[in-house]
Amino acid sequence: MDIIFLGGLEIETIIGIYDWERTTKQTVVLDIEMAFDIAKAAETDDIEYTLDYKKVSKRIIAFVEDSQFLLVEKLIVEIANLLLTEFAIPWLKITLNKKGAIRGASDVGIVIERGQK
Ligand SMILES: Nc1nc2c(c(=O)[nH]1)N=C([C@H](O)[C@@H](O)CO)CN2
């Protein structure tokens, strides 16, 4: 299966378990790989036959900016569910990086895979 990817997508949101995190937006950075058969789009040169990564990114940004979850676990699974149901993606891998959440570490977060390739 082919992969359409979106890397380094930075979004500001309310995320975290501590009091200050409930009122101060923080940045999460998403890297997303989405399986998709690009054969028909390559053959026809028509956007209708592929996964429009612009539409995907706009939907993710709107969802994450409006969300107010406590845990990164909850946020990343909700993003995966949204993509799997709304865009008919058979498989995806998401990396969510909550940069700066841990003093002394440049990166911290979660990687999940969902669906079948
Ligand atoms: N596994 C997790 N551990 C922690 C989370 C989380 O979402 N998942 N969150 C926090 C705090 O909100 C942290 O990001 C603030 O430094 C702590 N541990």
How many domains in the chain?
1
Q: What is the percent of the chain where pLDDT is above 70?
A: 100
Strand segments (E) across the chain: 3-13, 26-35, 91-97, 109-115
| ipTM exceeds 0.95 | yes
Residues with CB under 6 A from ligand 1: 16-18, 21, 71-73, 98, 101
| Catalytic member of 54, 74, 98, 117 | 98
Question: What is the C-alpha separation between 11 and 96, in angstroms, rounded?
Answer: 11
pLDDT over 90 (residue 27): yes
Confidence of residue 38 (pLDDT cuts 50, 70, 90): very high
**Residue of the nearest CA to atom 7 in ligand 1?**
71
* Domain presence at residue 44: yes
For residue 62, the domain's CATH number is: 3.30.1130.10
**Neighbouring C-beta atoms of residue 46, cutoff 10 Å:** 10
Distance of CA 85 from the midpoint of ligand 1 (Å): 27
* Domain presence at residue 71: yes
Mean pLDDT of 94-102: 96
* Domain presence at residue 65: yes
Range of the domain at 52: 30-99+110-117
Question: What is the C-alpha separation between 109 and 111, in angstroms, rounded?
Answer: 7
41-87: per-residue pLDDT in tens?
A: 999 999 999 999 999 999 999 999 999 999 999 999 999 999 999 99
Look over the chain and give the mean of its residue pLDDT values, rounded to a whole number: 97
* Model pLDDT, residue 117: 84
Q: CA angle, corner 89, sides to 85 and 91, nearest 5?
A: 110
**Reported pTM:** 0.96
Question: What is the C-alpha separation between 84 and 115, in angstroms, rounded?
Answer: 8
* Domain presence at residue 104: no
